[in-house]
Amino acid sequence: MKKLHKRGFVVYERYCGVSLTPRGKDVAETVKKRRQTFEKVLELILVPKDIASKDVHVLEHSLRPETVLQFTRFVDFIAHASAIGRPKFVGR
């Protein structure tokens, strides 16, 4: 917690609890969005949930930001196409 506090991600006082700073909230939101993106991609290609939950972790920590951006754009494109009534992929 001390390192996160020194870097400005949390407000931390010993024995008083921890809370995210605005900067910490931004980072947390980015991490959450990244995870949701990979979960959605693996769901779209029909990876079983038990395997996907493990593989998401690997993807989150292994891919370069440029690649993550392209995955995000792909998921957003699919979501937009679904919202405007385009045919959905039918699997298993």
- pLDDT per residue over 53-84, tens digit each? 999 999 989 999 999 999 999 999 888 887 77
Residue 1's pLDDT is 87
Q: If we measure between CA atoms, which residue out of 76, 88, 1, 66 comes closest to residue 33?
A: 76
- pLDDT per residue over 20-58, tens digit each? 999 999 999 999 999 999 999 999 899 999 999 999 999
**What does pTM read for this prediction?**
0.73
Domain CATH number, residue 66: 1.10.60
Q: If we measure between CA atoms, which residue out of 27, 2, 24, 21 comes closest to residue 13?
A: 2
Number of domains composing the chain: 1
CA within 13 Å, CB half, 80 = 6
Residue 88's pLDDT is 61
In a domain, 27, yes or no: yes
Name the pLDDT band for 86 (thresholds 50, 70, 90).
low
In a domain, 37, yes or no: yes
Residue 92 has pLDDT above 60, yes or no: no
In a domain, 11, yes or no: no
In a domain, 75, yes or no: yes
Residue 65 lies in domain: 22-83
